[in-house]
């Protein structure tokens, strides 16, 4: 603390840190309680305290994404607290105090004015100025360019005289046009007198590559273009993709429907009649009624034979998905409104309590329609479900249904 105070500008931080620590120090006058505890009636949390003035490395969060090699932390020193997870760190290289919670401490190192400021040196090395080499302008070479041109013209005249050509200019008529001549390989290296003829494009092209007027070509990498072209050729599949496609067809997925694209699940029979997949859910409801009838879960009775308050039945419609979230089945389940049932029996199941008490192993099995296999030992009447009601008749349950309070005990 004395070394930090020697800098002169940190004494306000030192005073505030002293008060913060003094309020959390037990005192004899307060019966060895802290001022914090005497005022707020609770003990202060001291787990966040660190050795004052120790080395700290606060995280630098303002680094551009393209500069991945920049320094990720500053070199600083602890000078105060603002809460149990926010610290005040003095960074010598920036000459300021910052507040942060993303910081790592080294309580074995402290500030030493005689040491070199490593953070400042690293900051200077990253901000050093790179010298710019001056490229001479073309204007400085103009005096010599004219002399070079004259020398080239003299060499060209010598080459023509050696080949027997006439240097005198020929008279040209307005209607006459000079035929282009191919370049002579024996002439000088200049190509100024060579007439270039446009080359004809004789390669075949695909009319699909011609864009309509007013459209713009999308900027796509060659790799993406090749991949898009391969996907367009659906008639020919490699053995790998053919096997994948065959497995996809045998997986039982329904038209590739995924849980993210399906409408919300239904909550009533009335909503089901107006649903996008009403036909599929009605077939699932028919299968549920047929399965209950096959297992003799209920029987039809006249309303005159009902001796107790009949319980309403509720349709529950669900989607069934595979491990990847694709739809494989439409499910319809018939449940009893057990919340309207009055019973004096204890209905909770201690399935996990007994194995935990006796250190037993648990094996999980999935029994299809587990509750509907259990016979009831009392007479329970139900109102027929929506879509399958009969006039002047009700259901007498012979086996348990989902929702009954007795079902877990059977």
Mean pLDDT for 384-392 is 89
351 pLDDT higher than 80? no
| Arithmetic mean of pLDDT over the chain | 74
d(Cα 141, Cα 409) in Å, to the nearest integer?
104
Highest mean pLDDT pick, 158-167, 179-188, 255-264, 277-286 = 277-286
332 pLDDT higher than 80? yes
179 pLDDT higher than 50? no
**Which of 349, 204, 354, 333 lies closest to 269 in space, CA to CA?**
333
255 pLDDT higher than 80? no
What single string gives the DSSP state of each residue in 256-302?
Answer: T-BTTTSPPPP-SHHHHHTSTTHHHHHHHHHHHHHHHHHTT-EEEEE
Percent of the chain with pLDDT over 70: 58
User: Residue 107's pLDDT is what?
Assistant: 92
User: Residue 391's pLDDT is what?
Assistant: 86
User: Residue 174's pLDDT is what?
Assistant: 46
196 pLDDT higher than 50? no
User: Residue 176's pLDDT is what?
Assistant: 45
- Most distant CA atoms of the chain, gap in Å: 132
Q: Residue 250: pLDDT band by 50, 70, 90 thresholds?
A: low
What single string gives the DSSP state of each residue in 175-195?
Answer: T--PPP-PPPTTS-S--TTPP
Mean pLDDT for 188-193 is 45
Lowest mean pLDDT among 37-41, 322-326, 342-346: 342-346
Mean pLDDT for 151-156 is 63
- What are all long-range contacts of 387-390, with beta carbons under 8 Å and residues at least 24 apart? 387/269, 387/282, 387/285, 387/315, 388/289, 390/300
**Which of 117, 68, 64, 130 lies closest to 91 in space, CA to CA?**
117
Q: Which helix (H) or strand (E) holds 146?
A: helix 142-162
d(Cα 179, Cα 195) in Å, to the nearest integer?
9
Mean pLDDT for 203-213 is 60
What single string gives the DSSP state of each residue in 291-348?
Answer: HHHHTT-EEEEEGGG--SPPBPEEEEEEEEE-TTSBEEEEEEEEEE-GGG----S---
Per residue in 322-331, pLDDT (tens digit) is 888 889 889 9
User: Residue 189's pLDDT is what?
Assistant: 44
User: Residue 62's pLDDT is what?
Assistant: 83
Q: Which two tokens stand for residue 39?
A: 């005022």
Per residue in 283-320, pLDDT (tens digit) is 999 999 999 889 888 999 998 888 888 889 989 999 99
Mean pLDDT for 35-44 is 90
Highest mean pLDDT pick, 168-172, 263-267, 362-366 = 263-267
**Which of 146, 170, 24, 164 lies closest to 84 in space, CA to CA?**
24
Q: Residue 139: pLDDT band by 50, 70, 90 thresholds?
A: very low
Rounded to two decimals, what is the model's pTM?
0.37
167 pLDDT higher than 50? no
Q: Which two tokens stand for residue 25?
A: 């120090």
């Amino acid at each position: 603390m004395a070394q930090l105070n020697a800098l002169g500008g940190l004494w306000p931080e030192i005073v505030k840190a002293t008060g913060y620590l003094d309020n959390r120090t037990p005192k004899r006058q307060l019966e060895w309680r802290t001022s914090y505890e005497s005022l707020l009636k609770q003990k202060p949390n001291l787990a966040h305290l660190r050795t004052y003035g120790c080395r700290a490395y606060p995280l630098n969060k303002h680094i551009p994404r393209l500069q991945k090699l920049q320094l990720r932390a500053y070199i600083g020193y602890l000078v105060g607290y603002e809460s149990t997870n926010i610290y005040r760190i003095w960074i010598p290289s920036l000459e300021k105090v910052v507040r942060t919670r993303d910081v790592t401490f080294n309580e074995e190192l402290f500030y030493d004015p005689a040491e070199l400021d490593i953070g400042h040196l690293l900051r200077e090395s990253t901000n050093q100025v790179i010298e710019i080499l001056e490229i001479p302008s073309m204007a400085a070479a103009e005096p010599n360019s004219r002399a070079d041109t004259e020398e080239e013209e003299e060499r060209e005249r010598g080459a023509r005289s050696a080949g027997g050509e006439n240097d005198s200019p020929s008279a040209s008529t307005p209607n006459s046009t000079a035929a282009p001549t191919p370049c002579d390989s024996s002439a000088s290296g200049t190509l100024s007198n060579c007439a270039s003829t446009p080359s004809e494009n004789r390669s075949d092209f695909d009319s699909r590559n011609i864009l309509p007027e007013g459209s713009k070509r999308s900027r796509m990498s060659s790799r993406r273009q090749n991949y898009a072209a391969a996907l367009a050729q659906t008639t020919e599949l490699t053995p790998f993709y053919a096997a994948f496609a065959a497995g996809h067809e045998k997986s039982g997925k329904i038209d590739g429907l995924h849980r993210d694209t399906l409408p919300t699940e239904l909550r009533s029979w009335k909503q089901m009649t107006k649903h996008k997949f009403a036909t599929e859910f009605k077939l699932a409801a028919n299968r549920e009624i047929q399965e209950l009838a096959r297992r003799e879960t209920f029987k039809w009775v006249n309303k005159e034979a009902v001796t107790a308050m009949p319980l309403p039945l509720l349709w529950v419609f669900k989607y069934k998905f595979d491990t990847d979230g694709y739809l494989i089945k439409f499910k319809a389940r018939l449940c009893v409104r057990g919340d309207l049932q009055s019973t004096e029996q204890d209905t909770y199941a201690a399935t996990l309590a007994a194995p935990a008490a006796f250190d037993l192993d648990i094996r999980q099995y999935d029994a299809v329609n587990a509750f509907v296999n259990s016979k009831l030992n009392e007479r329970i009447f139900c109102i027929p479900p929506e879509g399958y009601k009969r006039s002047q008749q009700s259901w007498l349950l012979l086996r348990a249904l989902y929702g009954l309070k007795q079902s877990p005990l059977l």
